[in-house]
Amino acid sequence: MAQGLFITGFTITEVLAIQSKAKEMLMEGKTLMAWGDSGMTTSKQFPMTVKETLEECAYALRALDPVTYGHKKTIAASSIVGYLPK
């Protein structure tokens, strides 16, 4: 679930650039980098998965410009605990 990481301090243009890069990495299958030299192997994982990045971008875009990207999704629920008289 998105936490709103890209809302404060990010512009719509920056969020769209992050989203574009995440889509590019997804299409190329680049979610983990690994390289080796002289028998030693090193790997680097990105701070957020592509899925998390895309979710955060979608959340931020809806919050920053709801007219263009739709309103934030709000879920309402109610429950009753105990006996209900007829």
Tokens at residue 38, please? 């002289």
pLDDT of residue 73: 64
pLDDT of residue 62: 92
At 48, is the secondary structure helix, strand, or coil? coil
Alpha carbon 1 to its chain centroid, in Å, reads 8
**What does the mean pLDDT of the chain come to?**
81
Q: What pTM was estimated for this model as a whole?
A: 0.64
Query: How many angstroms separate the CA atoms of 56 and 4, rounded?
Result: 6
Tokens at residue 69, please? 């990207």
Tens-place pLDDT, residues 27-62: 887 666 666 667 777 666 667 788 888 899 999 999
In this structure, are residues 43 and 34 in contact, taking their beta carbons and an 8 Å threshold? yes
